[in-house]
Structure 1
Amino acid sequence: MTTAINGAKFSPKELDRDSRFYVAGHRGLVGSAIWRRLERGGFVNLVGRSSAELDLMDRDATFAFFAETKPRYVVLAAAKVGGIMANSTHPVDFLSDNVRIQTNVIDAALAHGVERLLFLGSSCIYPKLAPQPIREDSLLTGHLEPTNDAYAIAKIAGILHIQAVRRQYGLPWISAMPTNLYGPNDNFSPQGSHVLPALIRRYDEAAQSGASTVTNWGTGTPRREFLHVEDMADACLHLMERYDGPQQVNVGTGSDVTIREIAETIARVTGYEGRTEWDTTKPDGTPQKLLDVSMLRATGWRPSISLEDGLASTVEWYRENRDGLRG
């Protein structure tokens, strides 16, 4: 049975577990979680390549890979990502690298007959001052947050690319826009991480060293929504089997907390007992970024991991793996 909400179709169609499934970016935060979810879901023909094995910015190499492997399904989770500092200081890299990666993968998938493709974007595609919670139709209605506008433009280009493929070729390709994600295999480096893994590393190091204070950027007042990456992976498979429409779909929890509250929670989970200070000379970024997840909920999906439980398990994973993590 097919139903329609706001012009989008919801028609359950289970993916073939034996068909070849390529996860672009399968070693990253999202890609590795999707890989694990697909394995748990019975997919037996998964394909992945590390960036050392396949440079997706190399168009010829990307096309050659698709010609060789001929995947039926694709999740495009490969991207250059980073926090406020990385985005602010390297906007050319975030725009150029991401446009090349996604254009090469989408064009190669089109050329080699990929049946179903899911493009993963980011909630930063929406205007800085978009009405909260942010609906999908807020896209392109206002100015972007300047600290990550280059990355956002790249992701917006990806959304429009998917919509263009649907219009020109009629393929059931879709886009999903996750809120702030966290979990195993995140980037915990001091220079390249997003806010939550940066806080986990900072408070863990302070707890280990016995530091009397921890200093965070900004005022702590911006509100953010956080989704565990295992929930995100589950939502991706759900959408590939339940959703077919041109509109990008927000993926989140529908609730948010302040940065100050998240810092207090991480301090508690890591066992840090010192004082937290806030460097108000540093930027806050967008004041609030909460996604309207009505469209996702209409497909029948809900998250299952609470923020407290997710943070506790992520801190545990970080402590077990921190010695082998990048810088």
Structure 2
Amino acid sequence: MQLKQIPDPVGGDVSVGAHGRGLNFPEEPPRPGKAIELADGVLWMRLPVAGRLQHVNIYALDDGDEWTLIDCGQQDAASMEALQALLSGPLRRKPVRNLVLTHHHADHAGGTASLVVQGARPWASRAAWLHLRMLSLETPGTMLPTRTAFNRWLGMSSEEAAALAAAVKNLTLLAPTPPPGYRRLEEGQALTMGRRSWRVRLGDGHAPEHASFWSEDGSLVIIGDQALPSISASLGVDVHEPHRDTVGDWLSASSRLGALADERRLVLPGHERPYRGLSFRLRQIADKHNAVLARLRSSLEIGPCTAMQTLKQALGDELLQEDSSAAAEVMAHLLHLEKRGEAVSQLGKDGALHFARAS
């Protein structure tokens, strides 16, 4: 196990450019199968995930004769093999007795069923747990018509909509059905993990009731995907709740969490590296979303558009599988403008939602 001391808050590597001036990155990532001790009894580890992100961070908190694990990766061969290597390596001295989930997405919670079988007690917000169980019961075949209609609603052609709906992976492989029982995380709840006192704060936007954990001593915050250091977690609407105002939810949650943020805290994110500068980062992400809203207002001045038309204006006509997520993100911002009274929408005969500037 690699052991490193936390540098003084004013020291470390202050990154600029892609990471933005004002963020401080005091640690390098752990190697596969290894852990870095970020603070007394707080271990940082990584598991592989498919796609652009390549990894997810998990954290183990030392509870004396057992571990509390924050998130657990997805249920595929590479991730589960890496998790077992950690269980038999840095964590081999003690069992994992508590599994605490930041949110329900498969790259963070897919391994839940496997760890529960091994004796872990699952903790999650109610929305996270219900979403995890709901998604684990889906199969691509049963959802194919719904996903195709959702893609048409975003403004894709019939061919694009059907092809991208068929490309969705079987979620039952990434997140097998967890048991019905769990322990609920609630806003303001006090927890003891890793021989520290923590306060639960629930975010939103990227995932409903996204849990973050704030140490009462002011030194740490486990933020999950609510505020990543150099990428903005997706706020795209999804097929299960397509009209949800994810952008408004995130902006509201960001305001609440920003009031609690202290730049001295070491922020433990779900991806990339731990950092300091949470207040700055929350403002930076909010500025990014407000800039997107401003560009969309300008687009609506030109004339009515769908989410997909707006996206293709920026990316061109070549459609990739990832563009369905990008279109869903554009849709989320258009819906936020509509909620604010700055846009109106109408469902067209083509099955797409068309937006225009509010008169």
TM-score, normalised to structure 2, is 0.28
Structure having greater relative contact order (Cα 8 Å, sep ≥ 6): 1
More helix, by proportion: 1
Q: Which has the larger radius of gyration?
A: 2
Q: Which TM-score applies when normalising by structure 1?
A: 0.30
